[in-house]
Amino acid sequence: MKRLYIVRHCSATGQAADAPLTVDGREQANLLSDFLSEQKIDAILSSPFVRAIQSIEPFAKRANLHVQVDERLSERVLSSEPMDNWLDGLQQTFSDFEMAFDGGESSGQAMKRAVAALGEVLALNQESAAVVTHGNLMTLLLRYFDERFGFEAWAALTNPDVYLVTASGSESTVERVWGHHEGW
C-alpha cells in the first residue's frame, strides 16, 4: 500500500513560475510542515515553481528530506494568450478533456504528464510521498483516482490544501486531510 499526500502550494504573490509565497503563505508553509511532520513521509516530489518549493521547504528541512523537482508537476498552461473568460474556459476543459486553447494543454494532456510523475513515485520502495503541485493539476491528479473530482472540486481548494491518496494494487481512496485540525 502506498500513500500519496497531494499538496497544493501555499498562498503566493502571483501565477508566474518565479512568484514567491506571500507573508501569509510563509506562515501557511510552517503550518503545513507541522501537519506533514505528523505523517510518515519518505519522499518529496515538487513542481519546479518557486511557490511550490517554498511551500514544502520548511517540512523538507525539518524531516531532512531532499525535494526532488519534477517539471511534469508544473502549473498547467490553459492558453499562451491571456483569456478574459479564463474561468469559463477552465470549466469547459473539465467537461471536455480533449479541449485545448491556443498554446495550452488539454486536461487529458496535463493529467497524463502528472500521472507519469506519480507512476515513478509509486514504483519507489518508499511507502509514502508528498507531491507538491498547483490547484488545476492537483484536481486532475485526484480525478485520475476518483472521477468525482472536477471543476467544482478545483473551485473548493484552499491554499494550501492536502489530499491523501491511498493506493493498493488497482484500488485507491482519496480523502481530504487538510483543514481537519484547529487553526488550519
Question: Quick one: which H or E segment has residue 151?
Answer: helix 151-156
Does residue 132 carry a pLDDT above 80? yes
Q: Which of 45, 56, 47 is nearest to 119 (CA)?
A: 45
- Confidence class of residue 29 from pLDDT cuts 50, 70 and 90? very high
The values of phi and psi at residue 147, to 5°, are: -65, -10
Give the pLDDT score at 122.
78
* Record: fold of 2-176: Rossmann fold (3.40.50)
pLDDT number for residue 44: 96
- Is the per-residue pLDDT at 124 higher than 50? yes
Domain boundaries of the chain, sorted by first residue: 2-176
**How far apart are the C-alpha atoms of 145 and 164, rounded to whole Å?**
11
Give 126: exposed, middle or buried? Use CB within 10 Å, 0-12, 13-18, 19+.
Answer: middle
Q: What average pLDDT score do residues 121-136 get?
A: 89
